[in-house]
Amino acid sequence: MTLHVAIIGGGASGTLAAAHLLRRRSSPERLRITLVESREDVGCGIAYSTDQSSHLLNTRVHNMSAFPEEPEHFARWLERQGLSSGGGLEFVPRKVYGRYLTELIAAEPNASAVPRLRIVKQECTGLRPHEHGVEVALSDGTVLPSHFAILATGYCRDGRHEPGLDDPWSRPEKHDLAAPVVLVGTGLTMVDMVMSLLDSGQSGPIYALSRRGLLPQPHRVTKPLKLSTADIPIGTSLAYMMHWLRSTIRSHETAGGNWRDIIDGLRPHTQMLWRHLPHESRGRFLRHASSLWDTHRHRMPPASADRIADAQASGLLRIIRGHFQEAHRTAHGTNITYRPSGSREPLVLEASHAIDCRGFGRLSLPTKNRLIQSLLDDGLARVDTLKLGLDFDKHDALVDANGCSTARVFGIGPITRGSHWEITAVPDIREQAARLAELLLGTPGLNESAPRRETN
Amino acid sequence: MLSMKGKYGLKALYHLAGLPPGVMAQSIEISEKHGISKKFLDAILADLRHSGFVQTRKGRGGGYCLTRSPDSIMVGHVLRVLDGPLAPIHCASRTAYHRCHDCPDENACAVRLTMLEVREAIAAVLDNKSLTAMRQMVEDEKADLDEVLAAS
Ligand SMILES: Cc1cc2nc3c(=O)[nH]c(=O)nc-3n(C[C@H](O)[C@H](O)[C@H](O)COP(=O)(O)OP(=O)(O)OC[C@H]3O[C@@H](n4cnc5c(N)ncnc54)[C@H](O)[C@@H]3O)c2cc1C
């Protein structure tokens, strides 16, 4: 019997899911994957479709292999492309990684008569799970019968954003380079935008605004402490956990180590920590600790850090601590109203334009992503308690409105953020892809029936 | 090894896990039932409160209860708070690490390497055992015993 798997979304997550399925199946003729993606470029998604060379990966080459069991995979691919390899410690442009991902699923070495992977450039509009499989509805009205569907739809960005602010991922319009620009948010997206502005010759001031003005920490070569789950206070409240983290870092630094060794040592355990973090601690983490965590956990490459530091030193880049209130387009540009931290009086910044660099927040409902909205409307899915994405169980199976796991629909990547929190970087997504491939390809009881035929 | 603190802490949580939802237990009640000195128990309960496993309410009807459902509280998680990292020997922990004073090379120490494995096995058992499962074990034992008694 042939196993049909439909993957919805061809960004990094969907591509990694496909690559892991293709790699595991021993008898090639018995697997069919359909990758459904509405955008033109498949494999890149929002992170790797940038065409700017100064948009670097924030993860070293040796952590970016698509396959955790073969850590050299990406480095070897780079060498084959004639792109020098700095021993795996370097940070390469994200667009290069996009090419790597695209090639992962493009070339099948033993291309048999029927390719095992098919790409369908359409929007998926709905799923209908039934006892033996799931029907995947596409925008042109066709229905794909399959055994399993994997939701790899990303952060559910649906084109809406704060009025007055520009979307960082859409192509910037030409602007007066001498006029000020405001970036709302001071995380990695802000770093990207500063790189773009510097590349384009911006000479007017760049204001970057966030509540605490925390910038991502720069990377250094680290020796991650090999923490075991046995060392970490799992299941404790956020306050206890943070206290433990601080004192562990303190004693490690007293012994001559670096805080990064601890943060990186925690990395393999973050999903488990999140799973056992009491619910109200999760909410508290998002409100009070996530920006501090993110700036230490998701760091910037040294080259970017140097440019940021230079821009700050020259006064071109100015970090402002304050609460963003509103952005308002005027005849000449955009006015940003914010309240400086520790003050009651709002101030206004006049800029040519302002870019939303606050990253990916919670799901805004109803969402314009028709698939997600229809799953919610039909009771096939529910939003996770923190509204970060949809609710999935510990095997990444979709949980329906009644709290029951759906045996036919799974999730991968940021859409599963509610269950894992740290599931946005490739080193985490690839592990999830490996688990999913193992689960789906090892599923017993698949032999009893073929998927339903098309219904229209 | 399980310390007295760990042992009594688990007994107290076992007790709290058996309360109907919304009901609280006073520490004197737990201390009498399980033969723990009240002073020691109060210190243990304070640790469990700081780490977010139990909460208290003062006044009439007040006392201690779990902060969440007993099936989401794992024995291993509680023991890390009361007894420190799960490690059968000090050099088998990264965070509560102490080198043995007679150790020339810990990376080549057969005892340590063995104990590192033991540590993972301990975690695998204790981190998968919830307070609910603990109560269930006791129920099952009782049922078995009843069966044996009924048959004899
Ligand atoms: C700017 C940026 C930089 C990053 N840099 C790094 C890095 O250096 N290292 C690292 O490890 N991680 C990095 N990440 C994180 C990580 O790689 C991303 O989180 C990753 O892009 C997630 O991919 P995704 O496929 O889940 O989502 P997306 O990239 O959003 O892709 C989802 C895809 O699904 C499609 N889709 C959605 N709904 C439907 C539908 N109904 N029908 C058809 N198609 C649909 C969308 O068109 C989209 O192409 C970065 C992320 C960002 C945003």
Say yes or no to pLDDT of A31 above 80: yes
- Between CA A149 and CA A136 the distance in angstroms is 8
Within an 8 Å CB–CB cutoff, is residue B93 touching chain A?
yes
A242 and A312: one domain?
no
> Residue A85: helix, strand or coil by DSSP?
coil
A447 located within any domain: no
Q: What pLDDT is stored for residue A431 in this prediction?
A: 96
Total Cβ atoms within 10 A of residue A353: 20
A385 touches chain B (CB under 8 A): no
Fold annotation for B1-69 = Arc Repressor Mutant, subunit A (1.10.10)
DSSP letter (8 states) at residue A289: I
Q: Tell me phi and psi for residue A192, to 5 degrees.
A: -55, -45
Q: Looking at the structure, do residues A405 and A263 belong to the same domain, yes or no?
A: no
Q: H-helix or E-strand containing A151?
A: strand A148-151
The closest alpha carbon to A383, from A363, A354, A353, A409, belongs to: A363
Domain boundary among A356, A377, A405: A356
Return the exposure string of A398-422: e unless at least 16 CB atoms fall within 10 Å of the residue's CB, then b.
bbbeeeebbbbbbbbbbbbbbbbbb
Residue A226 contacts B where some CB pair is shorter than 8 Å: yes
Q: Residue A443 — very low, low, confident or very high, per pLDDT cuts 50/70/90?
A: low
Q: What is the pLDDT of residues B20-69, one digit of tens each?
A: 988 999 999 999 999 999 999 999 999 999 999 999 988 887 899 999 99
Neighbouring C-beta atoms of residue A96, cutoff 10 Å: 18
Backbone angles phi, psi at A197, to 5 degrees: -65, -45
Residue A228 C-alpha, separation from nearest chain B C-alpha, in angstroms = 8
Q: Are A305 and A289 found together in one domain?
A: no
Which domain does A241 fall in, by range? 229-297
Q: What pLDDT, on a 0 to 100 scale, did the predictor assign at position A28?
A: 53
pLDDT at site A58: 96
Distance CA A304, CA A288 (A): 27
Other CB atoms within a 10 A radius of the CB of residue A70 amount to 11
Q: What does the alpha-carbon distance between residue A22 and residue A456 come to, in Å, rounded to a whole number?
A: 29
Q: What is the mean pLDDT of chain A?
A: 91
Amino acid code (one letter) for B68: R
Q: What is the pLDDT of residue A25?
A: 65
Q: Which of A332, A356, A380 is the last residue of a domain?
A: A356
Domain co-membership, A61 together with A97: yes
Mean pLDDT, chain B, rounded, equals 91
Indicate whether A150 and A44 sit together in one domain. yes
The mean pLDDT of A40-56, rounded to a whole number, is 93
- What pLDDT does residue A448 have? 37
Q: How far apart are the first and last CA of chain A?
A: 23
Q: Domain of A127: which CATH number?
A: 3.50.50.60
Q: Which residue has the higher pLDDT, B138 or A161?
A: B138
- Beta partners for B130? B74
CB contact under 8 A, B94 and A226: yes
Q: Of A274, A297, A320, which residue sits at a domain end?
A: A297
The stretch A6-31 carries a mean pLDDT of 88
Q: Choose which residue among A34, A46, A298, A426 to substitute to test ligand 1 binding: the one with the highest number of ligand atoms within 8 A of its C-beta.
A: A46
A53-65 per-position pLDDT tens digit: 999 999 999 999 9
- Tell me the percentage of chain A whose pLDDT exceeds 70: 93
**Most confident of the ranges B17-31, B89-103, B108-122:** B17-31
pLDDT digits (tens, 9 = 90+) for A350-393: 999 999 999 888 888 899 899 999 999 999 999 999 999 999 99
Ligand 1 binding pocket (C-beta < 6 A) is: A 8-14, 36-39, 45-47, 57-59, 94, 123-124, 152-155, 369, 371, 413-414, 424-427
**A232/B122 Cβ within 8 A:** no
- Which residues fall within 8 angstroms of residue A312, CB to CB, at 6 or more apart? A318, A319
**Residue A452: other Cβ atoms inside 10 A:** 16
- What total of structural domains would you count in chain A? 3
pLDDT band at B152; cut points 50, 70, 90: low
